[in-house]
Amino acid sequence: MRDVARQVMADEETTSADLVPAMCGFVYLMVPEIQELIRRAPLGDVPAQVAQVAVDGACRRVTTPPGIGPAAVRRHARKVAMAVLALCDHYESLSSAADGANTP
């Protein structure tokens, strides 16, 4: 997931439009997993609240149309890629916190 998102972020010349559906698929795969980790977090847990904001933003990114023209498509692809990278970070953060809470 990260490799595809990094590829889109590094791509300055092409539109990467063919990778947007894959990244949207990544978002749709990660969102339920992260939401479950958020539900398991203690009430008022700041990392969980920040992750929820990232989930909301990622969902918004994948449902927003890219606009007209190659520059708009490239910007949209980069925004979705940033959302994927953020979700990966939040998943790792919340997973390690959940694992740490379960260890005696």
Query: Is the CB of residue 94 less than 8 Å from the CB of residue 51?
Result: yes
Reported confidence tier of residue 70, pLDDT bands at 50, 70, 90 = confident
In a domain, 57, yes or no: yes
In a domain, 104, yes or no: no
10-62, pLDDT tens digit by residue? 876 665 677 888 889 999 999 999 999 999 999 999 999 999 999 999 999 99
Question: pTM for the full model?
Answer: 0.87
Nearest to 94 by CA among 47, 52, 50: 47
Domain count, the chain: 1
Query: Is the CB of residue 84 less than 8 Å from the CB of residue 26?
Result: yes
Domain that holds residue 57: 2-99
Q: How far apart are CA 97 and CA 102, in angstroms?
A: 9
- 10-to-14, 16, 70, 97 alpha-carbon distances in Å: 10, 10, 16, 31
Q: How far apart are CA 51 and CA 94, in angstroms?
A: 8
